[in-house]
């Protein structure tokens, strides 16, 4: 498995877990929703953090690790995971 395949696999796993975490926090922790930042923005911030950390770990510029379709797919997976968790818990 090449390093790009590992990054893509890690992207999907991270976004599923991070989306579920944001969904659970949104549904169960009133202080989290009182921060005033919508869940979607948390997901975008998580994707940004993933790219920065992956770039630092692999000593590569983050823009070279993932193409835009992979970023969009990761965000869509996080969105589905987040709002699925919210729907299950509310």
Identify the DSSP state of 76.
H
pLDDT digits (tens, 9 = 90+) for 71-87: 999 999 999 999 999 99
pLDDT at 4 > cutoff 90: no
Query: Is 11 in contact with 74 (CB distance < 8 Å)?
Result: yes
* The overall pTM is greater than 0.85: yes
* CA–CA dist 3, 26 (Å, integer): 33
What residue ranges do the domains of the chain occupy?
A: 3-89
Give the mean pLDDT of 53-68. Answer: 90
Angle at CA of residue 39, ends 36 and 44, nearest 5°:
110
pLDDT digits (tens, 9 = 90+) for 10-28: 999 999 999 999 999 999 9
* CA–CA dist 57, 45 (Å, integer): 18
* CA–CA dist 28, 17 (Å, integer): 16
């Amino acid at each position: 498995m090449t390093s790009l395949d590992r990054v893509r696999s890690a992207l999907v796993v991270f976004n599923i877990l991070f989306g579920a975490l944001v969904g659970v926090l949104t549904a169960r922790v009133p202080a989290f929703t009182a921060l005033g930042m919508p869940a979607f923005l948390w997901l975008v911030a998580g994707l940004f953090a993933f790219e920065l950390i992956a770039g630092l770990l692999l000593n590569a510029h983050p823009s070279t690790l993932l193409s835009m379709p992979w970023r969009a797919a990761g965000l869509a997976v996080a969105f589905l995971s987040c709002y699925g968790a919210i729907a299950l818990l509310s």
